[in-house]
Structure 1
């Protein structure tokens, strides 16, 4: 005979009730089979666990020791079962999410906060990472999901847009450029800070296409990446085309000017996941980000 979890639970119920009739009712069995199970347990242990009289039931010293230990084991077992079920439902566990630097200034942050509130048993770890490196991190299982700028399609990675927002020209407050709005032709004549192709391919390609389609050649004076580009604008190096969410964080030193031709071409953030990722918490995470009002597209 082996000592199993069911037998320990039976013993603990009898030890709690100190009454075989009440214990049998709690266990939904009749009293004779219950008495037989306790006798088998005492035979296995090699000593009596209960003192029985016609009027009372009490624990022996050995039974008290066993009850103390068995109670902890049964509690641990129940917790184990509960956590296992919660993990399978995506309610317990861990989730590793990569964030593009510029995503930290978008409404996606509020969606992440909402997910934390709704799923407190999930250990959510956020990792700032350049979008260029995120597909490899997903494949290496270093990330479960990535909130990043769009990238070339990969057969093994699924993407869903989680946010769109307007692009515009950002300049110092004391810059005399334009008025309430400005044209792309006027922007092209400005000293511009462009995007590095190796670190910011999405924005680089986006702006290259815009100027090329308009038949314009921008005057790029320096190339960099976000958020460093904003520092260069503040230093007077030039102006830049950036997402609105970044410009508003520097409202005390920078001004954001809408550009007519940029309205139909918002900047996007996508959520990328590796196809076949079996983390149960991932489905709830994706659903929360897609449903959160803050991540709805803003044109």
Structure 2
């Protein structure tokens, strides 16, 4: 094992090309320095310097080692600052999951500003539904995630920061007669075929949608299931049915699709940022960043 002290001694001798001057810089006498260089050469199995009675020069092996020794010593000197930055959440990696609906809100702005303010944190993004994110958390492949759920139905075992709560609105094909109304009532839509996400990707929100129909004495006519909100809206555009979507999705404009509010109590979606208790400092720094973005600091 090559000690950092040995590399520093080699570096000074290489810069001075004189053992006496190098020893003075290192605040030691020449004989111990000569012995240290000889020991390093024995460890490496090569001569680092060509010596004569009048001069000292780097050998080819010494010339090759010189830049690497400088790099390794620089990295060693940077370790304390790096460790402090990691402990303070200014350095490291953040593996962040997010559901597609978050992209219609403030997420792009939060990510851009976080990258600007925390250049030492490497962001790794993964678009994933709640069920996939929970699997990633269990496999220690995710540090934090934006998830969608029904209000008061967060997965257990997580800390959470509420991001948004919004009513669901109805996306429907523009050719339907109901599309011409500014606001819909439950009787207008109960018998229309429904495009919806599979229950396993957001169980509480799926159940809230079905609860709306049950409250009106109906069962929904599920025509098609799709995972991504963009796909669901595209299927509505294709005339496959209507879909309940968070209000923020109204920013996703598709030809042949209109969005309409529904009168009366309707399902509500909530978005939260979740993370495990005891998460690394970089996660806490991101949580603080989002909290400040929400005006909650």
Same fold by TM-score, threshold 0.5 exceeded?
yes
Question: Where in structure 2 are the equivalents of 1:146-295 lying within 5 Å?
Answer: 146-150=145-149, 152-177=153-178, 179-184=181-186, 186-188=188-190, 190-210=192-212, 215-217=215-217, 220-222=220-222, 224-225=225-226, 226-227=228-229, 228-261=231-264, 266-277=268-279, 279-292=280-293
Per the alignment, residue 68 of structure 2 pairs with 72
Question: Secondary structure, in 3 states, of the residue corresponding to 1:269?
Answer: strand
Call closer, same or farther: CA 1:267–1:69 in 2, change over 3 Å: same
d(CA) in 2 for partners of 1:36 and 1:286? 57
Q: Is the counterpart of residue 132 in structure 1 residue 131 in structure 2?
A: yes
> How far apart are 1:274 and its partner, in Å?
2.4
Call closer, same or farther: CA 1:41–1:143 in 2, change over 3 Å: same
Call closer, same or farther: CA 1:16–1:185 in 2, change over 3 Å: farther
Q: Is the counterpart of residue 59 in structure 1 residue 48 in structure 2?
A: no
Which consecutive residues of structure 2, in runs of 5 or more, have no partner in the other structure?
A: none
Per the alignment, residue 39 of structure 1 pairs with 34
d(CA) in 2 for partners of 1:190 and 1:49? 86
Which consecutive residues of structure 1, in runs of 5 or more, have no partner in the other structure?
A: none
Call closer, same or farther: CA 1:200–1:42 in 2, change over 3 Å: closer
d(CA) in 1 for partners of 2:76 and 2:281? 17
> How far apart are 1:37 and its partner, in Å?
5.0
d(CA) in 1 for partners of 2:198 and 2:168? 17
Q: Is the 8 A contact 1:164 1:266 kept in 2?
A: yes
> How far apart are 1:141 and its partner, in Å?
0.7
Call closer, same or farther: CA 1:126–1:5 in 2, change over 3 Å: same
> How far apart are 1:12 and its partner, in Å?
1.6
> How far apart are 1:131 and its partner, in Å?
1.0
Normalising by the residue count of structure 2, what TM-score does the alignment of the two structures yield? Answer: 0.73
Q: Is the counterpart of residue 111 in structure 1 residue 107 in structure 2?
A: no
> How far apart are 1:19 and its partner, in Å?
7.4
Call closer, same or farther: CA 1:252–1:231 in 2, change over 3 Å: closer
> How far apart are 1:255 and its partner, in Å?
1.7
d(CA) in 2 for partners of 1:60 and 1:251? 73
Per the alignment, residue 145 of structure 1 pairs with 144
What's the Cα RMSD here?
3.8
Question: Secondary structure, in 3 states, of the residue corresponding to 1:181?
Answer: coil
Q: Deviations over 1:56-82 (max 9, x none)?
A: x963244x7435414412312422553
d(CA) in 2 for partners of 1:287 and 1:24? 51
Q: Deviations over 1:124-156 (max 9, x none)?
A: 332232212322320211222222123755553
Normalising by the residue count of structure 1, what TM-score does the alignment of the two structures yield? Answer: 0.73
> How far apart are 1:96 and its partner, in Å?
2.4
Q: Deviations over 1:153-207 (max 9, x none)?
A: 5553222223334421222233332533334454446554445433432322232
Question: Secondary structure, in 3 states, of the residue corresponding to 2:159?
Answer: strand
